Amino acid sequence: MDKKELQNPALYTNRELSWLLFNKRVLSEARDKQLLLFERLKFLSITASNLDEFFMVRIGSLVDMIHAEYTKKDIAGMSAKEQLDALMEETHKFAALQYSTYNRMLLPQLRANGLNFVEHHEQLTERQAQYVDEYFEENVYPVLTPMAVDSSRPFPLIRNKTLNIGALVAKKGEKDTEIEFATVQVPSVLPRVVRIPAAKEGDTEVAVLLLEEIMDLPSVHMHVPEHHAIVPSVLLTALRNNGERMNYDTALSEICKRAKQVPGGTCGYWGVCGAAAGAGIFMSVMTGSSPLHKDAWPFPQKLVSIILSRLADVGGPRCCKRTSRIAIEEAVHFYSQFCSVNIPLSSITCKYCEDNRECIQEDCPYYPE
């Protein structure tokens, strides 16, 4: 094949269309029934994130080329306008396949495994609706800032990869008041998915194991003092997610403040594991214990002693992952004696063995078989 033949556009696929084909291959992983359900959900979310970036960078570049009246064709023989038209057509097909994957394949499987997504507020029970109203008043409403849009104001900046809501607003209590259009950016500090109580009191639901998700973060290394704060924070959040009423933000702030005062290495130098101390902090905050409190004072002491006893039975050297899991388990069992809220515990197999040079292997209750 000579050089002239290599310049034939029929031999090439447009770069942007090729990228969409790659993203479609990622989506095929989400449609693979042999993979774990949450892995499939993760692949679907990756395709959505990829598509966001694709539109920001590549589609934006093509639009700029069209506005600049750039007419030179690419190696596949397509102008910027032809590329954009083809991409719009293929993207619509791809988005339809994404929604089909979620609605017809993944969502029914999630529901079958006890994870129910409430898609419309009309589906909420009275118990759930009350929780949602309170959650909105306490957590969402204070951080919302509507931006009115009219002829006297410039259109507000809509940032990339943000969730924005359009709303028609009017003055409360006035019948003939003028209706205005406004946009509201949902702050990124708010979670996109909110855990709500079961439809009926007493229903069992799958508890999301927050501890494992947090420990997987790149910022949380194998052995770090951050585990001292992770343990009480996870316990508090799991308790809140399972229906315990509390002032969550205040309690979490106090937990983090106290946990920062527990240095690393306390297990070896003080004889008190930081994960056990973290569980004690959780119990102290929940019971309102203080050095002078007669009734609540014993509870953190008992919990910490139970955790330390089990840690000693398992043996050393220390492993922050192992001690955090043990502390979580013992704290859940201990707190359930005084609270009607049930926090389900999932079985765990450790995935950090190769990263821990001091792993005790078969002596660890979480070591893979």
Using the structure block, give the residue that is written with the tokens 């097909």. Answer: 93
- Residue 109's closest CA among 206, 212, 241, 209? 206
Domain-located, residue 196: no
Res 206: pLDDT? 38
Mean pLDDT confidence for 279-304: 90
pLDDT at 176 exceeding the cut of 80: no
Q: How far apart are CA 230 and CA 325, in angstroms?
A: 11
Each residue of 71-125: pLDDT tens digit?
888 888 888 899 999 999 999 999 999 999 998 889 888 887 778 777 777 777 7
User: 344: burial class by Cβ within 10 Å (0-12, 13-18, 19+)?
Assistant: middle
Q: What is the CATH number of the domain that holds 20?
A: 1.20.58.310
183 and 225 in one domain? no
pLDDT at 208 exceeding the cut of 60: no
pLDDT at 212 exceeding the cut of 60: no
Each residue of 299-350: pLDDT tens digit?
999 999 999 999 999 988 888 888 888 999 899 888 888 776 777 777 778 8
Percent of the chain exceeding pLDDT 90 equals: 22
Domain-located, residue 147: yes
- Confidence band, pLDDT 50/70/90 cuts, at residue 352: confident
How many domains are contained in the chain? Answer: 3
172 and 285 in one domain? no
Domain-located, residue 93: yes
266 and 349 in one domain? yes
- Confidence band, pLDDT 50/70/90 cuts, at residue 256: confident
- Confidence band, pLDDT 50/70/90 cuts, at residue 189: confident
Res 219: pLDDT? 55
Mean pLDDT confidence for 37-55: 92
Mean pLDDT confidence for 173-194: 77
Q: How far apart are CA 141 and CA 135, in angstroms?
A: 9
Domain-located, residue 295: yes
Mean pLDDT confidence for 3-25: 84
Number of H helices, E strands in the chain: 14, 3
107 and 13 in one domain? yes
Q: How far apart are CA 345 and CA 209, in angstroms?
A: 8
347 and 247 in one domain? yes
175 and 49 in one domain? no
- Paired with 33 in beta bridges are none
Q: Look up the pTM and report it.
A: 0.50
The domain of 183 spans 143-190
174 and 56 in one domain? no
309 and 256 in one domain? yes
Res 57: pLDDT? 87
Domain-located, residue 174: yes
User: Does residue 270 sit in helix, strand or coil?
Assistant: coil
Res 337: pLDDT? 80
Domain-located, residue 348: yes
- Confidence band, pLDDT 50/70/90 cuts, at residue 205: very low
Mean pLDDT confidence for 47-70: 90
296 and 172 in one domain? no
Domain-located, residue 241: yes
Each residue of 260-274: pLDDT tens digit?
888 888 888 888 999
Res 203: pLDDT? 54
| Residue that terminates a domain, selected from 58, 90, 111 | 111
298 and 162 in one domain? no
